[in-house]
A and B are shown apart, each in its own frame.
Chain A
């Protein structure tokens, strides 16, 4: 875990908000790693990083987006580090990530989960951020450090791949504006993380 040697004061309201966002951070981490243990480690590291760098967070801005960005960047950092250290020649890390199912996903959703787990990282995160986590395309693009059009393209490709793998009726390609609807954006829905 990341060291937390120097921890500046975290305002109580921010601390409480972090606690309230833990379920959402865990869900996002799970969709990235597809692994219970790794996702909890990722959330722990994210919390420690956030705590240690709280002075970089501007009060009044979106704490959720800030935490999701830290988590997402740390995930890719770990992936790069692991690949560099062990070269992952047999794809063991990738297999580990891909094979462990979610613990609580209902039986009738397992096929969907398996198909979702086969999407690449960029497609999974784009679909999750926009279609499930309630971020707008602009916010998702900021979190991922890419253009809005790139997010829309990733959502579109993710949806097409899922439809193919799940044998859902699916015809042709989709325009960027249609992708907005396809992702089922929750951006306009008031976000209320479980407390």
Chain B
């Protein structure tokens, strides 16, 4: 099927969105967030 400009626009938006999102997902999780989970664990365990 012949592709038109709308297809091209759609593909570019999809690709850009995924690249942005994937880059955000790939960022390292800040230690503070992991520390928070440890604190919640400790509180749960009464330590």
A residues within 8 Å of B by Cβ?
Answer: 4, 7-10, 15, 18-19, 22-24, 26-27, 30-31, 40, 43-44, 47-48, 51, 102-106, 109, 112-113, 116, 127-128, 131-133, 159, 162-163, 166, 168-172, 174, 181-184, 186, 193-194
* CB <8 Å contact, B13 and A51: no
* CB <8 Å contact, A169 and B13: no
B residues within 8 Å of A by Cβ?
Answer: 4-6, 8-27, 29-30, 32-34, 36-37, 40-41, 43-44
**Minimum CB–CB distance for A78 against chain B, Å:** 18
Expressed in whole angstroms, the Cα–Cα distance for A26 and B24 within the complex equals: 8
Contacts of B16 in A (CB 8 A): 109, 112
Q: Which of A31, A105, A159 contacts B13 (CB 8 A)?
A: A159
**Minimum CB–CB distance for A37 against chain B, Å:** 10
Known A-B contacts A51-B40, A127-B17, A168-B9; A43 and B33 likewise in contact (beta carbons under 8 Å): yes
Q: Which residue from chain A places its CB closest to the CB of B15 in the assembled complex?
A: A184
**Minimum CB–CB distance for A11 against chain B, Å:** 11
Q: Which of B15, B24, B33, B40 contacts A4 (CB 8 A)?
A: B40
* CB <8 Å contact, A184 and B20: no
The CB with the most chain B CB atoms within 10 A, among A133, A172, A194, is that of A194
Q: Which residue from chain A places its CB closest to the CB of B28 in the assembled complex?
A: A23
The 8 A-B pairs of least Cβ separation, nearest first, read A184-B14, A169-B5, A132-B21, A27-B24, A168-B9, A112-B16, A182-B10, A27-B25
Contacts of B22 in A (CB 8 A): 132
| 10 A-B pairs (CB sep. < 8 Å) | A15-B41, A30-B24, A44-B32, A48-B36, A132-B22, A133-B21, A169-B6, A181-B10, A184-B15, A193-B25
Contacts of A183 in B (CB 8 A): 14
Q: Which of B12, B18, B27, B40 contacts A23 (CB 8 A)?
A: B27
* CB <8 Å contact, B27 and A26: yes
Expressed in whole angstroms, the Cα–Cα distance for A152 and B15 within the complex equals: 19
Inter-chain pairs besides A23-B25, A27-B25, 4 sampled, C-beta below 8 Å: A15-B41, A23-B24, A104-B27, A184-B10
Known A-B contacts A168-B13, A170-B9; A47 and B18 likewise in contact (beta carbons under 8 Å): no
